Amino acid sequence: MVDFVPLFELNVEESIASQLTVETTADNQLDFFIEADANTEFTLELNTTTDFSVDMEIEVFTVDIGPHTANNINPNVIASATVDVVVTAATNLSLYRAVTGDGLYCEPTQPSLERYAGVTKVAVTPGTDVSLIRSGKLTDNMWSWTPDAPIFVGASGVLTQVSASSPVRRIGWAMSATQINFDPFPTIGA
């Protein structure tokens, strides 16, 4: 008989326990997901043994895009995305545009594509901190992408399925006509 020693303990508030799912990734990592509305507050406590290390990345997102109903809900947008980057806008930034780490639109040039940080979820004015989607899924029922095709960075950060001749940077993939899975690849070409 083999004795198993627990390496960690996860304590979850009862109010969200039914909303928690745990998945094991292909590389033997654990992903914890909590689905809750914007007004839900909760605490997670992770306790580990002394010989167990944890590399934890907390990813939180909110989406507030476009016109809303009386209940403050935009019926066209559904998100399951991560926000990996917050930048300060150096110029006016429009909705769903690729942005560099210095708060400018990403352009299809080698230096600009190398500084790609993520995609805006809202339009903002200069000097405003903006959360960018870098990886994960975003759905907007107003989109009409070609499914199973890549998404590239175009001029002025416009998302496009038409790749430039060179250089190019694929930042996502159209999962359906209305959903993008953001998963940036390195820049190709020079």
Per mean pLDDT, which range of 72-76, 84-88, 157-161 is the poorest?
A: 72-76
For position 150, what pLDDT does the model report? 93
Is 130 inside a domain boundary? yes
User: Same domain for 117 and 28?
Assistant: no
Q: How many residues does the chain have?
A: 190
Is 154 inside a domain boundary? yes
Q: What is the pLDDT of residues 137-152, one digit of tens each?
A: 888 889 999 999 999 9
pLDDT of 66 > 80? The answer is no
Is 109 inside a domain boundary? yes
If one compares 62 and 161, the residue with the highest pLDDT of the two is 161
Q: What is the pLDDT of residues 86-131, one digit of tens each?
A: 899 999 999 999 999 999 999 998 888 889 999 998 899 999 998 8
Is 128 inside a domain boundary? yes
For position 184, what pLDDT does the model report? 84
pLDDT of 79 > 60? The answer is no
For position 74, what pLDDT does the model report? 46
Those residues with Cβ within 8 angstroms of residue 188's Cβ, 6 or more apart along the chain or in another chain: 166, 167, 168, 169, 170
- Per the prediction, the chain carries an average pLDDT of 75
- Check if the beta carbon of residue 122 is closer than 8 Å to that of residue 65: yes
If one compares 93 and 43, the residue with the highest pLDDT of the two is 93
For position 36, what pLDDT does the model report? 59
Q: Rounded to whole angstroms, what are the CA distances from 80 to 111, 112, 115, 138, 175?
A: 30, 27, 24, 6, 13
Is 1 inside a domain boundary? no
Is 132 inside a domain boundary? yes
Host domain of residue 27: 8-48
User: Same domain for 89 and 178?
Assistant: yes
pLDDT band at 189 (very low <50, low <70, confident <90, very high): confident
Residue 129: DSSP 8-state: E
pTM above 0.75, yes or no: no
Share above pLDDT 90 across residues of the chain, in percent, rounded to a whole number: 33
For position 12, what pLDDT does the model report? 63
User: Same domain for 107 and 29?
Assistant: no
User: Same domain for 93 and 173?
Assistant: yes
User: Same domain for 82 and 156?
Assistant: yes
Average pLDDT, stretch 47-58?
54
The angle at the Cα of 109, spanning 126 to 101, to the nearest 5 degrees, equals 35
For position 70, what pLDDT does the model report? 42
